[in-house]
């Protein structure tokens, strides 16, 4: 795979739900962090708690960091992500030639193993390998983070895709209440900041305040026709 910027997405087999509760969401966020490492992962670097209201970056008795046997060597830069009930979106760039393929193999296999053990099921969890689209056009380059971060609005205001959103303020409030994406971290609200590398895009947006100020206008003008080919069939 060429070095560049890629939109990665995958969903559950038969469009099944792959994130059934908060523990599942939290586990996938953990895996985004943990499996982004050239080294083999022998044990979790975090212990999970029963209350899923903390971020991976918060030191507390319920989520204890353990000492890693060796320094992490990231496979990719994760610029943005979002999780929907039956699929996920990632915006990543490889650090080395095989970074994307190795990271995605570890991520999908690791989360599938967790999910199948928890729900006592067997077989494939995801619909195929994963879909990977290289970002080559400028208009997609700058708007892809918005597209990924706006996806959770399908749960609240699905008309957002056709420039017919009924209540922009309500949509923005919903996005600010939705934990399972990197949107909050781009706003400067500490959620899962260790997972993503945001400096590259924040430079274009004018920092966290610039990104926050742009969300209203981008959401108002968004059209799904600008992103043909970037969705799951």
The reported pLDDT for the residue numbered 49 is 45
Per run of 10 residues, the mean pLDDT along the chain (length 233 residues) is 85 97 96 92 50 47 49 93 98 94 96 97 94 89 93 94 89 97 97 96 96 94 71 58
Distance CA 82, CA 11 (A): 12
The reported pLDDT for the residue numbered 223 is 75
**Domain spanning 6-132, CATH class:** alpha beta
The reported pLDDT for the residue numbered 227 is 67
- Within 8 A by CB and 6+ apart from 218, the residues are 143, 146
User: H helices then E strands: how many in the chain?
Assistant: 7, 4
- Within 8 A by CB and 6+ apart from 7, the residues are 89, 90, 91, 132, 133, 135, 144, 148, 230
The reported pLDDT for the residue numbered 62 is 38
The reported pLDDT for the residue numbered 139 is 79
The reported pLDDT for the residue numbered 56 is 55
* Spans of all domains in the chain: 6-132, 135-227
The pTM of this model reads 0.88
Which of 130, 89, 134, 131 has the alpha carbon at shortest distance from 109? 130
168: number of Cβ within 10 Å: 15
User: Strands (DSSP E) along the chain, which ranges?
Assistant: 6-11, 76-84, 87-94, 131-134
Q: Are 83 and 10 within 8 A, CB to CB? A: no
Chain centroid, CA 92 distance in Å: 9
């Amino acid at each position: 795979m060429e070095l560049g910027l890629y939109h990665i997405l995958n969903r559950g087999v038969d469009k099944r739900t792959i994130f059934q509760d908060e523990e599942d969401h939290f586990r996938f966020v953990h895996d985004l962090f943990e499996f982004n490492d050239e080294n083999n992962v022998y044990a979790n670097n975090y212990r999970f708690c029963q209350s899923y209201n903390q971020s991976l970056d918060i030191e507390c008795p319920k989520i204890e960091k353990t000492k890693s046997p060796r320094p992490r060597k990231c496979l990719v830069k994760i610029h943005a992500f979002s999780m929907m009930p039956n699929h996920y979106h990632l915006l990543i760039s490889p650090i080395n030639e095989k970074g994307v393929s190795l990271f995605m193999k570890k991520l999908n296999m690791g989360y599938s193993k967790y999910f199948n053990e928890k729900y006592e099921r067997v077989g494939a969890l995801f619909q195929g390998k994963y879909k990977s689209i290289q970002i080559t056009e400028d208009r997609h380059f700058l708007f892809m983070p918005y597209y990924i971060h706006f996806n959770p609005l399908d749960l609240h205001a699905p008309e957002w895709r056709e420039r017919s959103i009924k209540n922009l303020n309500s949509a923005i409030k919903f996005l600010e209440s939705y934990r399972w994406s990197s949107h909050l971290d781009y706003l400067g609200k500490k959620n899962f900041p260790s997972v993503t590398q945001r400096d590259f895009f924040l430079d274009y947006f004018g920092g966290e305040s610039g990104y926050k100020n742009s969300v209203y206008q981008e959401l108002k003008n968004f059209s799904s026709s600008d992103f043909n080919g970037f969705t799951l069939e």
